[in-house]
Structure 1
Amino acid sequence: MDRLRRPFQIIRGDLRAYLFVNIFVYGVLLLGMALGMLFPDLHAARSASFAEGSQGALVNAVVGNGWVFGTVIFLVNVFPTALLLITLPSLAVPFAGLAVFAIKTIDLGVTLAPVDAISRLTLIPHSATLLIEFQAYALVMFGAYLLGRSWLRPETVDATTRRQGYARGLRRLAWLWLPALALFVIGAVYEAIEIYFLVPLVLGS
């Protein structure tokens, strides 16, 4: 039970910071979407780059099998994004993962911008995917923020040295990874359902 309660205790202990991280995470996504709508050529260029790049090729390779598709979505969310973009940079430089993730998310928002009728309809079921997966990212980002803060200001975690503050911040980050992983699983399952059932339904195909 402690494993279930501990992440929520961490959130309650710094609720204001957690809310600010959420505003930041969803805000940069919405900013990217707004940029994509304001600059359709930018949206078209980023969408074409995605479709022709390695990520688009990966999606095309696995989309025929729902289980494989969901597994790949989970792995991509966890390893290249949450681990490599957010966590690892933050282990080396305080708050670095927040900046890296923001840049990546703005680019994603540009790609997902609802610029036409099809993309607007597709966004209806996909908005739930974004809410779930970005909440998982927000938890990891919150942990990265706590790590950076405790590293630079060890007194915030009742530590006397930065080394001790780093260790305590790292433990909090690890605890927050647990609910994030659960949300990544839920998000991957829902996204598979979305792609195979909900998107065809809203598009009438």
Structure 2
Amino acid sequence: MRMIDNVRTVLRENWKTYLITNLVVYSTLVMTMIAAVYVPGIRDAGLGATEAFLSSPGAAAVLEAYTRGSIVQAAALTFLGNLLFASLATTTLPSLCIPYVGVLTTLGRAVFIGLPTAPTTLSEVITFLVFAPVLVIEFQAYVLAMLGAIIHGRSTFDDRRQHGSSRAGGYLAGVRDTLRLYPAIIAVLLVVAFIEATTSWLAH
């Protein structure tokens, strides 16, 4: 319960930023999909980048688990990949080194995923509509990670210093607020991983 209260407290104190972050991230995702449909060559570039990513050792291991039809392993690897890579390694940790950089990486992820995901045929539209709720839920985890990056940067440079705290104190306060969001990020990614693994198993 305390973890839930911590998440609620951070969201309540930063609700305007949270709403704006949602708007920016999902708008970027949608606009990227629209551009992929109407601008020649962009979607192909996105598909090529996705194929290159999926050929990497980590992604290949996840795909292999899905191919074997192992729900538990596929869900576990999907969860770990989304948590360790998409949330921690490319959003939170870089932002602790360079404040606010997680904003750029999250928007970049929206573009990276939006390009190959954009449907261009009727069958792709149907498939997209089926899986769209999962994509929306998954991106909520990335929105929360981006929110953490914004809170951390703001705490380091603005809010805490205005109240007499040192920059180091503001930095650490931002880290604490970011960590308070991670129970929600973990919960969202667990749900998404289970849904994706189960859906893939049923499809085969």
Q: Which amino acid aligns with 1:128?
A: P
Q: Which amino acid aligns with 2:55?
A: S
Distance 2:160 2:5 in 1: 24
Q: For residue 6 of structure 1, what is the aligned residue in structure 2?
A: 6
Distance 2:200 2:187 in 1: 20
TM-score, normalization by structure 2: 0.89
Q: Per-residue deviation at 1:188?
A: 0.5
The answer for unaligned runs of 5 or more in structure 1 is none
Q: Is the 8 A contact 2:160 2:169 kept in 1?
A: no
Distance 1:169 1:85 in 2: 17
Q: For residue 130 of structure 2, what is the aligned residue in structure 1?
A: 125
Shift in alpha-carbon separation, 1:193–1:62, aligned structure 2, 3 A? same
Paired residues for 1:3-152 under 5 Å: 3-51=3-51, 53-54=54-55, 57-63=60-66, 64=68, 65-152=70-157
Q: What is the percent sequence identity of the aligned residues?
A: 27
Residues 181-190 or 26-35, more deviating: 26-35
TM-score, normalization by structure 1: 0.88
Q: Which amino acid aligns with 1:33?
A: M
Higher relative contact order (CA 8 A, sep 6+): 2
Distance 2:183 2:155 in 1: 20
Q: Which amino acid aligns with 1:23?
A: L
Paired residues for 1:123-202 under 5 Å: 123-155=128-160, 158=163, 160-197=165-202, 200=203
Q: Which amino acid aligns with 2:196?
A: E
Q: Is the 8 A contact 1:154 1:162 kept in 2?
A: no
Q: Is the 8 A contact 2:138 2:189 kept in 1?
A: yes
Cα deviation, 1:26-56, whole Å, max 9, x if unaligned, reads 1221122112111353213322442354256
Q: Per-residue deviation at 1:195?
A: 2.4
Distance 1:83 1:157 in 2: 29
Q: Per-residue deviation at 1:190?
A: 1.0
Q: Secondary structure at the match of 1:153?
A: helix
Q: Per-residue deviation at 1:59?
A: 4.6
Query: How many correspondences in the alignment?
Result: 199
Shift in alpha-carbon separation, 1:19–1:177, aligned structure 2, 3 A? same
The answer for unaligned runs of 5 or more in structure 2 is none
Q: Is the 8 A contact 2:7 2:181 kept in 1?
A: yes
